[in-house]
Structure 1
Amino acid sequence: MITIGPVKSVVDENLHKVVQAIATCNCPSVAEAVMAEPSLKKEVLIRVARVLDDECSNMCKTTPPLSLFRRFLLFERELFSYSNCITELQTKCPTLYQLLWTVVTRSDKRNTVKCTSQHYPGMCMAVALVLKERNQHMTGLQTFLSLVLFNSNVQKKVLTRLNHMNVTISYTAVMKLITGISEQHKAPIEKWVNEGIIFEFVGDNVDKTVGVRDIRTDHRSTLVHMYSLLAVRARVDPPPPIFDFIPPDLTKIAVSYFLPNQADIDALRSNLQVIVSRVLADYIEVFKPQKRRVVAHIQHAHSKEMKEKSGVVVLDVLHKCETKTTDMIDIMREMISYLGDSANTCLSVGDLLTKERQDGSKRHVICSNTPSGRLDHLEPCIADWHCLLNFLMLVWKHLFKTSPRDHGTLRHLLHKIGRLPDANKPKKNLHACLDGLLTAFYGHLVEAARLELGIKSVDDFPLDSTGAKVKVKLSDVASAIVDKWTIVPEAILGQPLNDSSDGVNNYAHVLCHFAALVSEFYDGWHEGDGLRMLRCWKILMLHFFANRNTKYALESLKLQFQLASLPPDLVHQLTWGRFVNTRGGEGNNIPCDLYNEHINHLFKEIMGSNFKEQSSTRAARCVTTLSSIAETFDKLTGIHPESTSHTTSSNRDDVLSIATVVQSCDILKIKSDRSHANFPSFSASPLTSLNRQRLETWILEKTRQYTCNQHSDEQDNGDDGTGSNASESDESEL
């Protein structure tokens, strides 16, 4: 019989702890004991690596549905988000997700901090980098980032270097994507045509200077002329077209129909009362409790539709010069080609030059035997933003002098608040001039309200004879100020005006009149109110005519002719199709031609300095898609949308400073025989140079010409397509 004695234990202490933890069924203790033993820890890490390998293999599968990390779908770009990528990561690679979450958070906050959107981009990009190293087809996020960088005009070398770090795809792959995007540029508008959706064309010239390094006699910088073309979907459905519509005879319509009337003045006053109320509620202490009752957005018949985001398609950039009749005819025929078999007439919106050239081109081909040959499917119409620019130039010509010595003049007030030299010329800096004029206007309104209330400063309250505070209704004060210190209705309606001998006070009246019209025009386009804009055009026509701005006076009149003679569906489009809303929401509309300027700016950024016809066409066709991708990236990563939202600094101090100047000079009080040195004899009428009889004669003559051009077989005025005289100025007639 063999007796076995006690055997000395050779079990490692760490393994003993593992056994004890297993015996007590304490999972955390088991895990801690296993990781404390090097040999077991090594085996655990090997098995964790196998799990990660299986998870990554599952992520890289080519069977549907494909991983978001594998393919970025352009047609679903608006649905892309980093949160969806994180959700996929949690579902398919929970171990990898937990590993990343451990890396990005500190141990003391890991149990209390939740994974939020600020963590998503970095975590997703880290996964994208390692997956692309594993499988070169896992380029979903790299494609997304590459398109964003290309939209920012990043150089080829940058993309190449980042591609070698797996951050982006190759430059060649990017260009293939861009080419594919540009080849699909017609798809949205073809869908609109097939579905019978109403839209309009918006076009403008794009000039690009192509420089050279070595200047020679036969090798110099050249100015390339192009034409950018957009399509904007109608947000307000027009009435059905009338194919047998017979236009009225404009020569039988009274001249007064094309001029402002009392109803226009009443509507303008009503809107100005709201605008003035906003100003008083912001700057007068007694009215601040009533601010919540002030109308923020003036409503109209289609306010609901104008809150919707506009559908816009950038169609192409044509290498044509709009100042040449033959090129403009080609441009208009290109527009008609997008209409397909549709027999509807489409609006073509543009600035003054574009409108003139298109009218001249239609006259040039009026003898053609087919409607498409005569360009009948297009109706040119003028846009609003360039009109505001030209009206501000008119205001500066009327009110702005170089010397600031005359206290209370526009030049002095802008100098007082430090807006010069930025606000010297509207053509160089429209925003600075517009903001300066409105600030001066608000200062006059604040001083007018102070006089109306009988208070010493904007922080005081009106008191009665006993010293008690008097309740004042904001709407009553605003109405009184509108009647006294905004528009001059007598000048607009051609009625007698009592002119005082106080040139300083008269100057203030005219300044407020111009600023009130600008305020109405500016607020009207933000609200997308077509009727307000057309009413303003009718009033501005008088100012353009009186100041010999003949081309804009004529186009203002032609706009009235179109409203009186076109079919109801086109009149409806002409009224409500003048705006683009790029973001959606109230008060976010802008004129079509201003949006076209924004697109041209983006186009030049993408095109860069190296200009070629093929690259410029490709850049134009993909500009909206790339800008949409960049906006999505900015939104997902929390970058402030610089191009769509601008922070406006408070101008309270500037307004009150101007109000102080107006008060100290007693500008709003009539004092006889006062005048500015630079404006020795200034009338209170902003239309003092308007001859009503000549205006009516001019309207009658233009009515006959317009009617004749619409029905005659005469061709254009002899332009052979090589020059820029598609339309003649009417300077001699005035």
Structure 2
Amino acid sequence: MPLLVAMIQASLPAKLKRAGHNIIEKRLGTILSIIFFTRAPRKYNFVQATLSVELWRQGCTHKLFQTLNRLGITQGLQTARAHVDNIAADHDNCLVQWKTSVESSDNRNHKKAVRRVSQTGDEGYGVCWDNVQINPHCKHQGKDKKAEFLLWALSFACNNRVPTLHLMDTTTIPACQLIPCIIPQHHDYAELKNLMVYLTMKILMQHLPVMDPMKRHVPRRKHQYSTEMCNKSEVVNLGVLEANPASTAGVIQIMQHLHAYVPEPNGQVLPILCSGDGLSVERMVHAKRARVNGESKMHRLQGLVETPQEFHKEILLLQDTVNMLYSGSSIASRGSLAHMKVFYNHRSMSTDVKQNVQHAWDLIEFTTEAYVTMFAKTILNLDTISDVPANFPSTGRMEEKVEYLRRLAEQIVDFCWLAPKKEDIRKVNASAKSSAIFPEESYGFCCCDEEKEEPMIQCCSYQCPFSWYHLACVGLDEAPTDDWFCCDDCEVDGTYIYCRCHKRKGGEMIQCALKDACRNQEWYHKSCLSDNTFPEVWYCCDECALETEHDDYVLNYTKALMWRGLNHLARRFAVRHGEGETMKSHWKMDLLEFWSSRHHKYLNIAQQFLTGVSGFLSERLRHDMTWNRVANVHGKEGANIGMDLLNEFLNNEFKDMLLRSRGRYTPKQVQRCAQMSGAFGKQIDRLITDGGLGDLVQGNGSKTRHANKKDVLDFVKEFQKDLLFVYHPGRYHRGFEEYAYSTGIKSPDLLGRKLRKTAEVMDMWKNITD
């Protein structure tokens, strides 16, 4: 044997290396495996068996199996199927072990508490499912035989990376009391603004050479579970269930199948999360209500707690953006979304986002980065983006440079900031307090919730929930001349209604010449302004300076595009980094958009989700629903995705594998394809790669990033004369004449009544099941 190995090794070039891997050792092992397989095929067949399973997954023909088997490279097709059946037979062993671990880790009554006693993988888990639609090709069609499609359900389980079994499983709050908790407040928009500033800083460091050295010095965003979110998720594919998810009976069958994996420590059902897209969540709610008369929690399907996911919500919001900002008639209007699509060759992007999500995302991401970079160049008065700004602290400390970058990013975000008015949110809250069918129109100001013909005074705290008060309601006869605060909390919170920074700090301030009619913040700290020259009549912006009745509809479009784009970037960043609290905050803001865009299904789903994580569900489930709602299939930082997106990947892989079966959709073949897709198939791919049979090199997106950076540079050069960020009244993009983007809440009183009614229904069903 040593002589044989030495002879074969000597016949190969000793210095052959590629991509850091020794190809000689891999090929030597392959040659020896063929020799061993030829000598004793029943004993030495690991390499051939692995290759056979991989070829079966790729749908290779019987003739190819036969040919390669005779060459000693693989085993036969029947043997490959036997290997697949043996592997698939134990596909859920890992999940069964998780269930056993959870059940054995608790010895107390779960009505009181659930505890975690070890660190051996008993942190818990959740399941996810979605429908699978297969369109089989009908060879012979006629009046009585037409093409049909198969509708099944694919499911998987995923471990919890954030432990929650030590948290309480009782103490819940009625949904009607939680309505104020599901409506976005000032701190939600403050957090969104901070995230937008952080993302804007990253864009500027990417595209402005003078900002590039700061990449290592800008602190990364971290949260309490940042380390756990970098861990790789364990995914167990549960196969395909041939039940129709479009019917209530089919969904009940699916949930019964998944309920078998719900842990029951001490005979008590321990509910787990069951994730899905918006439609799946809605059907799960209907299925559980249809089984409300079941004799036990298992029969009532109460072991599965439905929760919506992030990917399909992202598609819905992207579609809203495309509907709002894309028009074919504006294709010749420079700077519009339609023009950018053609000018930068994003031809694959269509107005139907769900058919090409990635292409729509690429266009929105590129346009947002291009607009941010162009705006920075404009306000810094640079000839090219390679120039150094006149007021840049080139000789200063790195902390001063980072602060300069932050202030620049804040100025960019302030330019396009279009958050809803505080009084609209107040109206929603006030209307939701009453259970009357037709209450009077709610009032968005003052703590009295009443509209009176009395003088009012404004609290100078930017975080004040009411903002304006009647003088009589706060015990004043007349308004004071100095800054006034409604309470001690507002007086000490450090925020200010004036200036871009909204911070209470010393220093001289200057007022816009339009005073109360100013389109922005009216009063500004001089230290917060980039311009150091202040004439006797000073205007804060071009819009105020021109004082015209006409509007600049191109500028309105520009602000809307940047606002929508930064919102999309912020939501995807939160998902990628597993920022549970941030995702929850985004759902609150999206609830208002679902209402304004008439997405009533997602409005109900958003309210159910937010009510659950706010106190309607137990502490353990709230923590699960907040932090264990994403998966990380690569185990890298910033690589988390929604459970529904992971299901889409498994779904597509399963359908591709099944289509290679050439129409033989037998139950056995369906389960083989379902159970061999996903994580196990990827392990086979890696095994073959490392075993010496070729490298499957995966791209890291560097080429795409380089092309995007090049296009952003081209945009800055090409469109610098279009003055997209300078106020010019009367101009517009074709298809967007008189365009004005508003984030105001439509019919806030009606929204408040709708939220109240849904909350009452949730409480009713909970009282029935409890």
TM-score by length of structure 2 reads 0.75
The answer for the alignment partner of 1:54 in structure 2 is none
Q: Compute the displacement of 1:325 (Å).
A: 0.6
| Inter-partner Cα distance in structure 2 for 1:504 and 1:381 | 40
SS of aligned partner of 2:131: strand
Letter of the aligned partner of 2:230 in structure 1? K
**Structure 1 residues 101 and 407: CA distance shift in structure 2, 3 A:** same
The answer for the alignment partner of 2:134 in structure 1 is 208
Q: Compute the displacement of 1:321 (Å).
A: 1.1
The answer for the alignment partner of 2:28 in structure 1 is 123
Matching residue within 185, 204, 214 for 1:290: 214
Letter of the aligned partner of 2:747 in structure 1? N
| Inter-partner Cα distance in structure 2 for 1:260 and 1:180 | 52
SS of aligned partner of 1:229: strand
| Inter-partner Cα distance in structure 1 for 2:237 and 2:703 | 28
The answer for the alignment partner of 1:617 in structure 2 is 671
The answer for the alignment partner of 2:172 in structure 1 is 247
CA contact (8 A) 1:631 1:641 kept: no
The answer for the alignment partner of 1:155 in structure 2 is 61
The answer for the alignment partner of 1:258 in structure 2 is 182
After superposition, residues 698-717 of structure 1 pair within 5 angstroms as 698-712=754-768
CA contact (8 A) 1:444 1:662 kept: no
After superposition, residues 715-734 of structure 1 pair within 5 angstroms as none
CA contact (8 A) 1:205 1:226 kept: yes
**Structure 1 residues 621 and 367: CA distance shift in structure 2, 3 A:** same
Q: Compute the displacement of 1:605 (Å).
A: 2.4
The answer for the alignment partner of 2:194 in structure 1 is 270
| Inter-partner Cα distance in structure 1 for 2:63 and 2:573 | 46
The answer for the alignment partner of 1:673 in structure 2 is 730
After superposition, residues 326-725 of structure 1 pair within 5 angstroms as 326-339=249-262, 341-342=264-265, 343-403=269-329, 404-463=331-390, 473-488=404-419, 490=421, 494=425, 498=519, 501-564=551-614, 565-607=616-658, 608=660, 609-610=662-663, 611-623=665-677, 624-637=679-692, 639-642=695-698, 648-650=704-706, 651-660=708-717, 662-685=719-742, 687-688=743-744, 690-712=746-768
**Structure 1 residues 214 and 360: CA distance shift in structure 2, 3 A:** same
| Inter-partner Cα distance in structure 2 for 1:493 and 1:287 | 39
User: Deviations 1:526-582 (Å, cap 9, x if unpaired)?
Assistant: 111111211111111111211112111221122111112111110111011111111
Letter of the aligned partner of 1:481 in structure 2? I
CA contact (8 A) 1:151 1:627 kept: no
SS of aligned partner of 1:210: coil
**Structure 1 residues 461 and 469: CA distance shift in structure 2, 3 A:** farther
SS of aligned partner of 2:64: helix
The answer for the alignment partner of 2:242 in structure 1 is 319
| Inter-partner Cα distance in structure 2 for 1:119 and 1:645 | 30
| Inter-partner Cα distance in structure 2 for 1:492 and 1:143 | 68
Letter of the aligned partner of 1:695 in structure 2? L
User: Deviations 1:163-182 (Å, cap 9, x if unpaired)?
Assistant: 11111111111111111111
In terms of mean alpha carbon deviation, does 541-550 or 674-683 score higher?
674-683
Letter of the aligned partner of 1:480 in structure 2? Q
SS of aligned partner of 2:390: coil
CA contact (8 A) 2:348 2:359 kept: no
CA contact (8 A) 1:345 1:377 kept: yes
| Inter-partner Cα distance in structure 2 for 1:459 and 1:555 | 48
| Inter-partner Cα distance in structure 1 for 2:698 and 2:21 | 24
CA contact (8 A) 2:48 2:73 kept: yes
In terms of mean alpha carbon deviation, does 631-640 or 489-498 score higher?
489-498
Q: Compute the displacement of 1:160 (Å).
A: 1.8
| Inter-partner Cα distance in structure 1 for 2:762 and 2:727 | 46
| Inter-partner Cα distance in structure 2 for 1:602 and 1:647 | 25
The answer for the alignment partner of 2:437 in structure 1 is none
Identity of aligned residues (%): 21
Letter of the aligned partner of 2:685 in structure 1? A
In terms of mean alpha carbon deviation, does 560-569 or 467-476 score higher?
467-476
| Inter-partner Cα distance in structure 1 for 2:760 and 2:699 | 46
**Structure 1 residues 643 and 352: CA distance shift in structure 2, 3 A:** farther
Letter of the aligned partner of 1:131 in structure 2? F
The answer for the alignment partner of 1:309 in structure 2 is 232
Letter of the aligned partner of 2:737 in structure 1? P
| Inter-partner Cα distance in structure 2 for 1:551 and 1:515 | 24
CA contact (8 A) 2:34 2:72 kept: yes
| Inter-partner Cα distance in structure 2 for 1:487 and 1:636 | 55
Letter of the aligned partner of 1:618 in structure 2? R
Letter of the aligned partner of 1:355 in structure 2? V
| Inter-partner Cα distance in structure 2 for 1:659 and 1:362 | 55
CA contact (8 A) 2:592 2:745 kept: no
| Inter-partner Cα distance in structure 1 for 2:395 and 2:271 | 66
Q: Compute the displacement of 1:671 (Å).
A: 2.3
| Inter-partner Cα distance in structure 2 for 1:218 and 1:158 | 38
More helix by share: 1
| Inter-partner Cα distance in structure 2 for 1:266 and 1:362 | 38
Letter of the aligned partner of 1:201 in structure 2? V
Q: Compute the displacement of 1:483 (Å).
A: 2.0
Of structures 1 and 2, the larger Rg is shown by: 1
CA contact (8 A) 1:262 1:493 kept: no
Letter of the aligned partner of 2:5 in structure 1? Y
